[in-house]
């Protein structure tokens, strides 16, 4: 399959607007779709701010930034995506939401189109089974912030074809990313390793082993991490961390993936990290 002319990106949140930004910056037209105009407005404002930051750092010219922004068309009409031969889904990390979206995309997009998910933990095989084109379903897991981070996990479902894999690997490279091939398993590689680390760091705080600040300093000063696991959890979103831990626990059945009770309580309280203004640390809102 040749590279798509227009890419549908589903979801204008943190990951979706980052994916749209990178696609447009790399010369692709993008239909950015979300449920409400207000969601699209916030996503487009973020893209414009990030493009302006790239201009200020001389990574793009002003004209290049303007051209990239002009390639992104917002829409709340999912039916308008019928011109796209690739859709990248970046909806909330819940199977019910994603499976409903994939059934819709399967109906709307042309028969030859590839359906990709930016899921960080949910089974690609299970999502593919919701469609009539399981050979054309694949995982394309970007990392936050998408315009900066070079990695994309490219995840094969049980039935993903070699042609689909090759097309998406080539696309990731065209976006300036480094694709890493991963087989379909809960959490893939990144979150299967990262989330238990974050979860255990939360247990250390809950059990009074050390403060959040101390736990983070151990990893920054002793292990050369660019940020500690609790700072990173706040950046990712504690609700997202909890969703992924629950996927790991349900799929793998090992008690080592049991979400920390403190993580559950914080999410229940609405303390989600940076996006809510409070997590393990406080942030201006």
Q: Do 19 and 59 belong together in one domain?
A: yes
Q: Flag whether 13 is marked binding.
A: yes
Q: Flag whether 275 is marked binding.
A: yes
Q: Flag whether 12 is marked binding.
A: yes
Who's near 264: CB < 8 A, 6+ residues apart?
242
Q: Do 204 and 164 belong together in one domain?
A: no
Cα separation of the two ends of the chain:
45
User: Does residue 285 form part of some domain?
Assistant: no
Q: Flag whether 214 is marked binding.
A: no
pLDDT tens, position by position, 132-167? 999 999 999 999 889 999 999 999 999 999 999 999
Q: Flag whether 157 is marked binding.
A: no
Helix, coil or strand: residue 17: helix
Contact 139, 184 (CB under 8 A): yes
| CATH number of the domain within which 98 lies | 3.40.50.720
Mean pLDDT, rounded, for 94-102:
93
Active site residues: 120, 141, 153, 191
| CATH number of the domain within which 258 lies | 1.10.1040.10
Q: Do 169 and 269 belong together in one domain?
A: no
Of 156, 183, 210, the domain-final residue? 183
Q: Do 161 and 66 belong together in one domain?
A: yes
| Residue 110, domain extent | 6-183
Of 149, 183, 217, the domain-final residue? 183
CA distance 281 to 204: 16
User: Does residue 280 form part of some domain?
Assistant: no
Place of tokens 């201009």: 55
CB-based burial, 14-40: b 16+ in 10 Å, e otherwise: bbbbbbbbbbbbeebbbbbbbeeeebb
pLDDT tens, position by position, 38-69? 999 999 999 999 999 999 999 999 999 999 99
Q: How big is the CA angle at 44 (ends 52 and 231), to the nearest 5 degrees?
A: 75
pLDDT the model gives residue 144? 86
The structural domain count of the chain equals 2
Q: Do 222 and 201 belong together in one domain?
A: yes
Mean pLDDT, rounded, for 16-37:
96
User: Does residue 1 form part of some domain?
Assistant: no
């Amino acid at each position: 399959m040749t590279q798509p002319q227009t890419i549908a990106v589903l979801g204008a949140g943190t990951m979706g607007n980052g994916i749209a930004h990178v696609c447009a910056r790399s010369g692709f037209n993008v239909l950015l779709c979300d449920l409400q105009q207000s969601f699209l407005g916030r996503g487009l404002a973020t893209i414009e701010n990030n493009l302006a930051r790239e201009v200020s750092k001389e990574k793009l010219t002003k004209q290049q930034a303007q051209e990239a922004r002009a390639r992104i068309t917002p829409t709340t009409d999912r039916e308008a995506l019928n011109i796209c031969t690739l859709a990248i889904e970046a909806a909330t990390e819940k199977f019910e939401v994603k499976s409903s979206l994939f059934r819709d995309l399967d109906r709307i997009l042309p028969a030859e189109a590839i359906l990709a998910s930016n899921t960080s933990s949910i089974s690609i095989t299970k999502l593919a089974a919701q469609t009539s084109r399981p050979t054309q379903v694949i995982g394309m897991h970007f990392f936050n912030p998408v315009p900066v981070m070079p990695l994309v996990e490219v995840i094969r479902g049980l039935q993903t074809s070699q042609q689909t894999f090759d097309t998406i690997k080539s696309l990731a490279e065209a976006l300036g990313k480094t694709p890493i091939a991963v087989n379909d398993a809960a959490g893939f590689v990144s979150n299967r390793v990262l989330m238990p680390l974050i979860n255990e760091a939360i247990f250390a705080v809950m059990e009074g082993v050390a403060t959040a600040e101390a736990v983070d300093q151990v990893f920054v000063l002793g292990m050369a991490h660019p940020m500690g696991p609790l700072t990173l959890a706040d950046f990712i979103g504690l609700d997202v961390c909890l969703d992924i831990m629950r996927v790991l626990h349900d799929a793998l059945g090992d008690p080592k993936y049991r979400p920390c009770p403190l993580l559950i309580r914080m999410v229940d309280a609405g303390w989600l990290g940076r996006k809510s203004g409070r997590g393990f640390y406080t942030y201006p809102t």
